[in-house]
Amino acid sequence: MPLVAHNQLPAFNDLKLEGETVIPGELAIHQDIRELHIGLLNLMPDAALTATERQFLRLINDSNQIAQFYVHLFTLPELPRSPEGLAHVQAFYETFEQIQASGLDALIVTGANVTQPDLSKEAFWNPLVEVVDWAYKNVTSTLFSCLTTHATMQFRFGQTRRRLPEKRWGVFPHRLIERHHPLVVGVNTRFDVPHSRFNDISREQFEAAGLHVLVESDEAGVHLAVSQDGFRLVFFQGHPEYDTISLLKEYKREVMLYGSGGREDYPPFPENYFSPLSQAILDEYAELVMAAKRENAPIPRFPEDLIVPKLDNTWHDTAEAILNNWVGKVYQTTNQDRGKTFMDGVNPDDPLGIYGK
C-alpha cells in the first residue's frame, strides 16, 4: 500500500501531483492493512530540506506495496534554521522525544552540510550519536546516507573519512560484490548511482570495521555496505534517492557561485551526466558567464529549460529494488507492536538469520 498522508506536509501533495499514490490518514485507519512506521531524520539545510523530503518519500513509496507507510519526519534542533525553515519544521516535523515515545520500525538518516573537516566538532555530532545509539537498541534497521555514513563510521567504528583529491561528482557505474545478500536479491549486477562528495570511506575501512561491502564502483568506490548481522546498519555513500535533476541543480548552484564571486574556478561537469549536446549548450553558456564577469554585467539566465529534457535517470529503478528489499525485511522482522525491537525469539545480532549458518 502507499504512503499515508497523516499530516499536512506539503510534500505529500507534491507527490500526488507527480502521480504518486498517497492516501489520506482518515481513509488509512479504516483499512485492515498493517502499518509500517519509518522515521526520516532530515539533517539537510533549509535550501534542500523539502527536496530531500520528497526524494526519500518518493523512493519509499515506489519501493514496496505491502504496507501502509507512515513516515515520521524529525530533525535536530542544533542545526541552524532560517525563520522559514524553523516554521516548516515546527509545523510538520515531530520531536525526537515524540519519536522515542511512539517507536519506529525503521529509520533513514539523511546527509547534512558540514562546516569543518572534523565531524566530531559539528553541532549535530552529539545529538546524532544519541539518535543512532537509541535506534541501534530500539529500531530494527537504520539506513544512513552519505555524510551520516561517514559520521557513524567514525563514532561507532573508529574509521575516519579521508579527503579526496577532487570532488567525486556525477553518475557512476557500480557492480554487485555479494550477489546473494537479501538486500540485493533481484538487483541488476551492474547499475548506476549518483555521487556528490569530497570525502570517502574506502572498502578497506568498511572491512576493517567488520562490515560487508555489497556494491562498489571502480571509479566512485563503495556505495552500499551493511553490518555483520546483514541488516541492522545499512550504509550508502552515494545518493540513489536523487531526482533526475538533482545534479543539474547542484551544477547550477556552483555556476551561480562562480558568477557571484563565491568560487574562483568555473565548475566542471558532473561526470557521466550531461549529454554531448547539453555539454555544448553549457559550454556556450560558460563563455557568456565569463564575459559577463569581465564586463561586470548581470549573469545571463541559466539554460535549465534546454537541459532538463535531455537528462536521463539510470539509477532510480535499482534504488527502488534495494529499498523494496530493505522495507520487506523490516516488515518480516519487526514485531507489529511499535517500540519493540525484534520479534520474540529472533537473535538481535542476526535478525535475518543469514550469518553464522
The secondary element (H helix, E strand) that includes residue 74 is: strand 68-74
Torsion angle defined by CA atoms of residues 212, 271, 48 and 115, in that order, rounded to the nearest 10 degrees: 70
Structural contact between residues 209 and 157, judged by C-beta atoms closer than 8 angstroms: yes
Q: 3-state class of 60 per DSSP? A: helix
CB within 8 A of 270, min separation 6: which ones? 169, 170, 171, 196, 247, 250, 251
Active site residues: 146, 239, 241
Q: How many Å apart are CA 71 and CA 346, to the nearest integer?
A: 25
Q: Please, what's the b/e burial string for 110-144 (b: 16 or more CB within 10 A of its CB; e: otherwise)? A: bbbebeeeebeebebbebbbebbebbbebbbbbbb
CB within 8 A of 206, min separation 6: which ones? 153, 159, 212, 213, 222, 225, 235
**Beta-bridge partners for 323:** none
DSSP 84-112: HHHHHHHHHPBPHHHHHHH--SEEEEEEE
Q: Where does residue 295 rank: exposed (0-12), middle (13-18), buried (19+ CB within 10 A)?
A: exposed
Residue 227 per-residue DSSP state: -
Q: Please, what's the b/e burial string for 67-79 (b: 16 or more CB within 10 A of its CB; e: otherwise)? A: bbbbbbbbbbeeb
Q: How many Å apart are CA 6 and CA 111, to the nearest integer?
A: 24
